[in-house]
Amino acid sequence: MSWKELEEAAVVKGGTSAGYIVSGWRVKRPVIDEAKCTNCLICWIYCPEPAIVRREGAKVAIDYDHCKGCGICETECPPKAISMVREP
Amino acid sequence: MTQTQTSTVAALQGDEAVAEAVRQCDVDVVAAYPITPQTIIVEKLAEFVADGRFKGEFIPVESEHSAMSACVGAAATGARVFTATSSQGLAYMHEMLYNASGMRLPIVMAVANRALSAPLVLNADHGDMMGSRDSGWIQVYAENVEEVYDRTIQLFKLSEDPRVMLPSTISFEGFIISHDKERVRLLDEGAIKRFLGRPAPKHRLDPKDPLTFGAIANPDNYFEFRMQQAEAMKNVLKVFREVEDGFEAFSGRRYGAVDSYNTEKADRIVVANGCSAGTMRAAARALNAGGEKVGVLTIRLYRPFPADEVVACLRNAKAVVTMDRSFSLGAPSGPIAEDVKSALKGASLDTPVMSVVYGIGGRDLSVEDGRRIFDMAKDSSSFGATQVLYGVKG
Amino acid sequence: MYQQVKGLKELPLEEPLSPGHRLCPGCGASVVVRQILLAAPSDVVVVNATGCLEVSTALYGYSAWNRPWIHSAFENAAAVASGVEAGFKALARRGEGQEHPIIVFGGDGGTYDIGIQALSGAMERGHRFLYVCYDNEAYMNTGIQRSGGTPRGAWTTTTQAGSARAGKTEAKKDLMSIVVAHHVPYAATASISHWRDLMNKVRKALSMNGPTFLHVMAPCMRGWRFDGSKTIRMSRLAVQTRLFPLYEVEGGVYRITVPVPSPKPLEEFLKSQGRYSHLFLPQNATELEAVKRDVETNYGRIERMSLFTAQTPGSASA
């Protein structure tokens, strides 16, 4: 990019990291068993990304574009509704 | 010359004049740490705070590095920001100078020059400022108290211009200008505020539009961000003139990026900056009265270096003497000498240049010294490749 | 005063931190930031020191911060925050803006060591901001070198374990005591495992008119050598073994907010991290004892401080 096109002083608009996909970092991916999930939001409050999305009127879902497969959610889920499964 | 709107004439020390200018410019935040010979600036501002005459925030930071850091934080909110330092303090905040400039924050700083330790000394030379000439700050030198007062005001206008958005420094010799009382024709506060206005910055910390300041770059774009600063530096040459136009319109006063005395007719021209320019002019006037043909070119705007104007003034000279009040150890000649030689060479001029290093550690330069320096320049074939250390003992 | 956090569902839906940042999978610092910003008002302004958090969340073109955010240098976050606070104050006085709560994030590197001066100065001057030290107990961003926050006995790349040495020989600096010595209105420790305790401390701190401080443990799977899925567990274990007591100091009065009457054995915490594996070699038995003593001494001291300062208000500081 030419110096004329870059933002002055390298200022960046907030939230733009969402445009960066990190799914390639994963070895395993979390899968939620909807039946067991109580929507307690524990996985959501412990997710470092966050790659767990809260939805109005629905249970949480995994944002697979941004999940790095760390496995915290599986470890912490109280009803054990999340399993880390090997990436296909 | 237009009507000068002045309210009073005061006898002020250089440091006092800076404080008065800062107060009149309605600065929002001052973050500074005391260091001789700048201390009177912060003490005066503290007096203004106590009297309610300075309404901005005064942060008595715990170090110069924190002073510049606080200035960066305040400037990022869109506030008008000022600090002052000298010598060791300037060196301590060195890292932050690049930070402020890279983040394009229009901070204005006063530097009361003082030579750098070790060995420790309190008196003036330009070593402190020369150490930061690559940092991307606009650098202006003044030679008397009224000029310091005027430039402090002008630099807010210059730095805050959207075509510039670079921090700037007004530099003046410690004790000689910072402490000596001189006559200052103070300007009308209303006129100053109208002159400065309040330009809105392009970016600021504001929850309504969350922006990220100070992101990490990479080899693919770092050079281009520097290029942006280089372009802004180039714009300074033009904007500087506009600022002086506007300032002259209400104050009747103008200084220029350079000042030339008799350079069109001179055989030998001395290039100087700071208070010694006045000394050299006094010596030159005496010599010219005795039938010689000498001139003095005063560098006022040092960064960006006004190469075109410098070359235009030196073009007809048979010999040039550059005077550096700083000692660039290990270099063939002083910083101003290097800049002048480059400018002359760039214009395909072969003029012999003698580099004189003087006044180091606050050593005085008299009019008699000035005459001797002009005499030294009479035989340009004697000019060596390296600098002359004028007045060094032994 | 402040609104207590009762449940997770009451927290805002809007994420203060966007995903797509480059922090390691399972990074504790990231959870620290998310929990703190979710508890804070949406108009906070963030100041960040150089470190893991900063470099990974603010790349040109990719910023994870949905809040106004500024990074300047490594050692000056508290000084920059002082300037931001003053700037907003000045603008508000001129009627051209308003003040906003300020949260400063600094790692143990940027807080215990290179940043201690700026923090000390800012606290002494009484600026209003919440300073959060996310403590991963080493200079992690530059490759796991020791800091003043590295505990005794821990392996780092500059406190290696071998036949002549068994990890860091010096104790961890008592950062909370340093902060409390500045007579700040509020300082507390917190753990991401105990999110409700953490979030209420955030809200309490932000309600105070002066410098406030949170010391939060940020377990680092890279530097501590454990599987990233265990980050929260590690923080919880630190609390449950009394290694990282959760307490607050309000106006000089100490109070343990999560008492640990029957602590788990410290070995459980130490054995689960590679950085302490050398402590279990027979030749390092004395060092292991010293590490255990550090934990007992520290917890005991805080217990005694809470008893003492509760009885005699104004005795410790304030």
The Cα of B105 is separated from the nearest Cα of chain A by a number of Å equal to 9
* Smallest Cα distance from B146 to chain C, Å: 28
How far apart, in whole angstroms, are the C-alpha atoms of residue A10 and residue B217? 8
When pLDDT is averaged across residues B355-376 and rounded to a whole number, the result is 97
Residue A6: list chain B partners with CB under 8 A.
Answer: 221, 224-225, 228
What domains does chain A contain, in order, with CATH numbers? Answer: 30-86 (3.30.70.20)
C63 contacts A16? CB cut-off 8 A: yes
B394 domain residue, yes or no: no
Q: Decide if B96 is inside a domain.
A: yes
**Complete edge-to-edge strand list for the sheet that includes strand B108-113:** B57-59, B29-31, B81-85, B108-113, B168-173, B138-141, B301-303
CA separation for the pair C73, C51 (Å, rounded) = 9
Q: Which of chain A's residues have a Cβ under 8 Å away from the Cβ of C17?
A: 50
Say whether B228 and A3 touch across the interface (CB within 8 A).
Answer: yes
Q: Are residues B284 and B381 in the same domain?
A: yes
Query: C21: distance to nearest CA of chain A, Å?
Result: 6
Q: H or E stretch including B356?
A: strand B353-357
Residues of A with CB below 8 A from B214's CB?
10
Are B242 and B201 part of one and the same domain? Answer: yes
Note down pLDDT in tens along chain A; length 88 residues.
Answer: 899 999 999 999 999 999 999 999 999 999 999 999 999 999 999 999 999 999 999 999 999 999 999 999 999 999 999 999 999 8
Note whether A45 contacts C65, CB cutoff 8 Å: no
Tell me the longest C-alpha to C-alpha distance in chain B. Answer: 69
Rounded CA-CA distance B156/B39 in Å is 21
Q: Residue written as tokens 């922090």? A: C23
Q: Residue C151's pLDDT band (boundaries 50, 70, 90)?
A: very high
The residue of chain A with its CA nearest to that of B99 is A9
Whether residue A48 and residue C195 make contact (CB cut-off 8 A), yes or no, is no
Q: Which chains have 3 or more CB–CB distances shorter than 8 Å to chain A? A: B, C
A6 contacts B228? CB cut-off 8 A: yes
Contact C18 A40 (CB under 8 A): no
Instruction: Report the residue of chain C nearest B69, measured CA to CA.
Output: C80
The reported pLDDT for the residue numbered B360 is 97
What tens digit of pLDDT does each residue of B106-143 get? 999 999 999 999 999 999 999 999 999 999 999 999 99
Judge whether C57 is closer than 8 Å to chain A, CB to CB.
Answer: yes
| B169-209 pLDDT, tens digit each | 999 999 999 999 999 999 999 999 999 999 999 999 999 99
Which residue of C lies nearest to A39 if distances are taken between CA atoms? C9
Percent above pLDDT 70 for chain C: 98
Check whether B351 has a pLDDT greater than 50.
yes
* Touching A: C residues 104-143, CB under 8 Å: none
Q: Is B19 among the domain residues? A: yes
The beta-carbon neighbor of A12 closest among C63, C227, C233 is C63
Residue B354 pLDDT more than 90? Answer: yes
In chain B, which residues have their Cβ closer than 8 Å to the Cβ of A3? Answer: 224-225, 227-228, 231
Give the best residue of B23, B45, B49, B62 to mutate against chain C (max C CB count within 10 A).
B62
Residue B52 structure tokens = 């309610």
Nearest CA in chain A to B230: A3
DSSP state, residue C280: G
**Residue of B101, B105, B203 best to disrupt the A interface, most CBs of A under 10 A:** B203
Judge: C87–B76 Cβ closer than 8 Å, yes or no. Answer: yes
Q: Which domain holds residue B328?
A: 258-389
Are B217 and B94 in a shared domain? yes
At C1 the pLDDT is: 81
DSSP C110: I
Nearest CA in chain A to C226: A70
Contact partners for chain B, using 3 or more CB pairs closer than 8 A, are A, C
Quick check: C317 pLDDT over 80? no
Residue B293 lies in a domain: yes
Cβ of B203 within 8 Å of Cβ of A9? The answer is yes
Is C72's CB within 8 Å of B69's CB? yes
Check if B202 contacts A (Cβ < 8 Å).
yes
Residues B52 and B165 in one domain: yes
Is residue C314 predicted with pLDDT exceeding 70? Answer: no
ipTM of the complex: 0.97
Spatial contact of C273 and C234, defined as CB atoms under 8 Å apart: yes
How many whole angstroms separate alpha carbon A28 and alpha carbon C26? 13
Residue % of chain B over a pLDDT of 70: 98
> How far apart are alpha carbons B45 and B27 in whole angstroms?
11
Q: What is the pLDDT of residue B394?
A: 85
Answer yes or no: is pLDDT of B3 > 60.
no
- Using one digit for the tens of pLDDT, what is the confidence trace for B67-92? 999 999 999 999 999 999 999 999 99
Q: Is the same domain home to B282 and B136?
A: no
Q: Is the pLDDT of residue B296 over 80?
A: yes
Q: What angle do CA C228, C233, C236 make, to 5 degrees?
A: 140
Residue B193 and residue B17 in contact, taking contact as beta carbons nearer than 8 Å: no
Q: Please state the domain extents for chain C.
A: 16-311
**Distance of alpha carbon B34 from alpha carbon B88, whole angstroms:** 11
List the chains bordering chain C where 3 or more Cβ pairs fall under 8 Å: A, B
Q: Do residues B169 and B273 both lie within one domain?
A: no
Average pLDDT over chain C, rounded to an integer: 96
Chain A segment 14-73 residues within 8 A of B by beta carbon are 14-15
Position B301 scores a pLDDT of: 98
Q: Is B81 on the interface with C (CB under 8 A)?
A: yes
Q: What is the pLDDT of residues B234-249, one digit of tens each?
A: 999 999 999 999 999 9
Res B131: pLDDT: 96
**pLDDT tier at B1, thresholds 50, 70, 90:** very low
Asked whether residue B243 falls in the same domain as residue B274, the answer is no
Instruction: Indicate if the pLDDT at residue B6 is higher than 90.
Output: no
pLDDT of residue C232: 98
8 Å CB contact of B66 and C76: yes
Final residue in a domain of this structure, among B251, B285, B306: B251
Residues of A in contact with B165 (CB under 8 A): 8-9
> Chain C window 251-310: which residues touch A at a Cβ cutoff of 8 Å?
none
Q: pLDDT digit string (tens) for C54-111?
A: 999 999 999 999 999 999 999 999 999 999 999 999 999 999 999 999 999 999 999 9
The CATH number of C16-311, from 3.40.50.970, 3.10.180.10, 3.40.50.720, 1.20.120.530, is: 3.40.50.970
Residues in B 275-314 with any Cβ partner in A closer than 8 A: none
Integer Cα distance of B126 and B119 in angstroms:
15
DSSP 3-state assignment of B15? helix
Contact check, Cβ <8 Å, A66/C20: yes
C58 contacts B60? CB cut-off 8 A: no
What does the pLDDT read at residue C312?
Answer: 67
Residue C310: how many CB atoms within 10 A of its CB? 12
CATH of the domain at B149: 3.40.50.970
Residue entry with tokens 């070593």: B127
Q: Which of B223, B251, B279 is the last residue of a domain?
A: B251
Q: Is the pLDDT at C318 greater than 80, yes or no?
A: no
Residues B378 and B289 in one domain: yes
Instruction: Specify the 3-state DSSP secondary structure of C148.
Output: coil
Contact A3 B102 (CB under 8 A): no
> CATH number of the domain that B369 lies in?
3.40.50.920
> Among B196, B222, B251, which residue terminates a domain?
B251
Q: Tell me the average pLDDT of chain B.
A: 96
Residue of A nearest to B204 (CA): A11
Domains contained in chain B, number: 2
For B70, the closest of C73, C83, C94 (CB atoms) is C83
Question: Which residue is listed with tokens 């103070």?
Answer: B186
Q: Among A6, A13, A14, whose Cβ lies nearest the Cβ of B221?
A: A6
Determine contact, residues B281/B268, Cβ cutoff 8 Å: no
- A9 and B227: CB-CB below 8 Å? no
Do A13 and B211 make contact, defined as CB atoms within 8 angstroms?
yes
Does residue B154 sit in the same domain as residue B302?
Answer: no
**Is there a domain that residue B74 lies in?**
yes
Interface B–C counts its CB contacts (< 8 A) at: 161
| B212 CA: distance to closest CA in chain A (Å) | 5
> Does the beta-carbon distance from C67 to A14 stay under 8 Å?
yes
Q: Which residues contact C132 (CB under 8 A, 6 or more apart)?
A: C32, C36, C103, C104, C105, C106, C213, C214, C216
Q: Could you tell me if B46 lies within 8 Å of chain C, comparing CB atoms? A: no
pLDDT digits (tens, 9 = 90+) for C233-284: 999 999 999 999 999 999 999 999 999 999 999 999 999 999 999 999 999 9
Q: Which residues of A touch C218 (CB under 8 A)?
A: none
Q: Do A11 and B213 touch (CB under 8 A)?
A: yes
